[in-house]
Amino acid sequence: MEEDKFLTFLHRVHTPAFVLKRVRVVKFIIVGGMASLVHLATLALLTEWAQVWYLIATTVGFGAGFGVSFTLQKYWTFQETSRARLPGQAFAFFALQMTNLVINGGLMYVLVDMVGLYYVLAQVVVLAVLAVFTYLVSRSYIFNRIH
């Protein structure tokens, strides 16, 4: 009986759909990491070197990360190459990111000004929370070829 369960598991693990889902998650994480590095670098450079208030700096960083994220998520992670859907996807992804921006600013304010976390550590925590939310919406709605 246990052997049957194990063989069923092995069969499921080696199916293309199972592997594709795992590869997509890994790609999403890589792209998110790249976009987050762009965001964090912009935040740190503007805050430390240009003396820009951290909430303004994180907003600019968020925008820089957007360009990296949309392009790579669409074409590499989700392999969605439709040109016809590009404007709608860009708008939907932008709307998602604007929602994330509001959440980002609010959580940054709470974690930095109210909790007392160092702003870079606070941003890393916020980015992790937003990554999960963004993946689920991107996979299910924005880059879903059925919609």
Q: What angle do CA 120, 126, 132 make, to 5 degrees?
A: 140
Q: What are phi and psi of 68, to 5 degrees?
A: -65, -50
Structure tokens at 104: 């980002």
| pLDDT one-digit tens code per residue, 117-142 | 999 999 999 988 988 889 999 999 99
What is the CB-side half-sphere exposure of residue 12 using CA atoms within 13 A?
A: 6
| Domain residue extents for the chain | 2-142
84 versus 1: the higher-pLDDT residue is 84
pTM comes to 0.67
pLDDT in tens, 56-113: 999 999 889 988 999 999 999 999 999 999 999 999 999 998 999 899 999 999 999 9
- Residues 6 or more apart in contact with residue 96 via CB below 8 angstroms: 134, 137, 138, 142
State the Cα–Cα distance between residues 101 and 130, nearest whole angstrom.
9
pLDDT given for residue 10 in this prediction? 46
